[in-house]
Amino acid sequence: MTATNGITVRPLSGAMGAEVGGVDLTRALDNETADAIHRAFLDHIAIFIPVADLPAERMQAIVARFGEPLAHPYLKPVPGAPFVHELRKTPREEINFGNVWHQDFTNLERPSLANALYSRVVPSHGGDTLFANMHAAYEGLSPGMQALLEGLRAVHGFSEKYKQDIRDQEARDGVTKRDDGHATYTSEAIERTFTHPVVRSHPETGLKALYVNPGFTLRFADMSVAESAPLLDFLYRHAVRPEYTYRHSWRADVLGIWDNRASMHYAINDYTGQLRVMHRMVVLESEPPV
């Protein structure tokens, strides 16, 4: 554990993740405290800060310091915080949100820089989130594989299942705009794709990371889906080797923020019959990945 000016940083695994203590997030952060939190975020990729009863507007102010807030295109914002939305799984629901390895919004030209969850209600057991360190996954590849991947780009977009889920929700809700006026996905938007490097350099640390994920990567550029599948499947299996991963067990009243440029995550669906309520926010990168 390290401590600076009363702020503690306790690593949670060998791969990634740390708990940050000695911080009162219910008050405005001074620059020194904000810098210490950001340093822990870069060093550990995912950080978790206990804070009781964090209002959505305070969460929004904190997470917005990391990047440009995303107005989610179809999930409704919570009152008073247009960039924060609720993920609620009731005891009667069987499907949960994010139940696949992914990096959020890599289907955009400027993907997610960071994601944040605040745990409001957690089940008595289950509902953990898995994380994979994509820096470590890259470093664990052979020099020959690293050299091969350096020259590749991948096409990112919505899977056919994800596109149908969006269409179904739009048809069910009968709306094309959120309550706050932000447009939802259009038919053109859900078909749009962007290419990103398969190996990217982190804009703040300079570290290289694998940048493909089962949730949004469709194929390699200039290759077919069938041609791309064997290598992509290998990379997905490689990236989630146990030594590259961390499993976070949520307690109530914890703010988690993770670096989407350097990690994948997976929401485990193993708490059927229980209630789980999380507040979520996403901030975007300022430039496309390189």
What is residue 191's predicted lDDT score, i.e. its pLDDT? 83
280 catalytically annotated: yes
What is residue 178's predicted lDDT score, i.e. its pLDDT? 45
What is residue 176's predicted lDDT score, i.e. its pLDDT? 47
What is residue 180's predicted lDDT score, i.e. its pLDDT? 47
Ordered structural domains, the chain, with CATH: 2-157+193-284 (3.60.130.10)
**Which one of 58, 102, 200, 219 is the catalytic residue?**
102
Positions of the chain with pLDDT under 70:
3-4, 162, 164-188
What is residue 186's predicted lDDT score, i.e. its pLDDT? 59
104 catalytically annotated: yes
What is residue 188's predicted lDDT score, i.e. its pLDDT? 64
User: Which tokens in the block code for residue 206?
Assistant: 């300079």
- Quick: pLDDT tens for 65-111: 999 999 987 788 999 999 999 999 999 998 888 889 999 999 999 99
**Which one of 72, 120, 219, 280 is the catalytic residue?**
280
- Quick: pLDDT tens for 182-218: 445 555 677 889 999 999 999 999 999 999 999 999 9
What is residue 17's predicted lDDT score, i.e. its pLDDT? 98
265 catalytically annotated: yes
**Which one of 104, 248, 259, 279 is the catalytic residue?**
104
What is residue 185's predicted lDDT score, i.e. its pLDDT? 55
What is residue 44's predicted lDDT score, i.e. its pLDDT? 98
| Rounded CA separation 33/23 (Å) | 8
**pTM (two decimals):** 0.91
| Rounded CA separation 93/70 (Å) | 27
